[in-house]
Amino acid sequence: MFRAVTVEREYGAGGSLIAQRVAEILRWNLLDRALIGAVARAAQVDADTVGRYDRNIDSWWSQFHRGGLRAAAIHAGVTVADTEFFDAARVAVFAHRVIASAAVSGNCVIVGRGGQCVLQDRADVLHVFIYGPWRERVSRVRARVKPIRDVGESIRATDRKRASYVRTYYGCDWKDPHLYQMTISSQIGLESAAFLIVEAVLGGGQA
């Protein structure tokens, strides 16, 4: 039986809402926005700092600049707060630890952040990818976020960002079907998609 679920999704496909519904039905913990708080506690920094770097990738110049400043501070014997050097790579490291720990505890639904890669070797975790028709994605994003000039470009940019995160930190192709046991179109309805996942959790997997 599966003890945890990871949900990856195209932007606007409703994956976060589906994951939330799955967690509600199973009465499991949902690690989506809550993951930011968990990472903040693990890293001993404030949640706003984690939020700034969550699911991002530092540019080469940013990494070089921070590394130079840290080395200079250490060489000078100056104590500098860790938050001053906190970056996207460190958030990814702590997110990896939180996700791995959550899977050990079980009874959790993990949204994004490479969970399907972190937990790929665990037989008790169900990996799901949610995709959706372009028109529905555009409509959903337009209804949920503040007005933006080009909804389509926002969707494409977010998908590229998510794919880049997984590729950079885990060396995986975000849409590789071999990372998932289930790929579901949100066109069947968010509730129906959620129940398909719940049925798989309760009826499948290895002990």
When divided into structural domains, the chain yields a total of 1
Q: Which two tokens stand for residue 163?
A: 């794919």
Residue 127: give the domain boundaries.
4-203
In this structure, what CATH number is given to the domain that contains residue 135? 3.40.50.300
d(CA 11, CA 174): 13
d(CA 133, CA 187): 7
Confidence of residue 81 (pLDDT cuts 50, 70, 90): very low
**Helices (H), ranges, 27-150:** 34-43, 47-53, 60-75, 88-105, 115-118, 134-144
Q: What is the pLDDT of residues 130-178, one digit of tens each?
A: 999 999 999 999 888 777 778 999 999 999 989 988 998 899 999 999 9
Q: What is the pLDDT of residues 11-46, one digit of tens each?
A: 999 999 999 999 999 999 898 766 665 666 655 555
d(CA 106, CA 103): 5
Among the residue ranges 2-6, 45-49, 88-92, the one predicted with the least confidence is 45-49
Q: Which two tokens stand for residue 184?
A: 């579901």
Return the residue matching tokens 């967690």: 23
Strand partners, 128: 7, 182
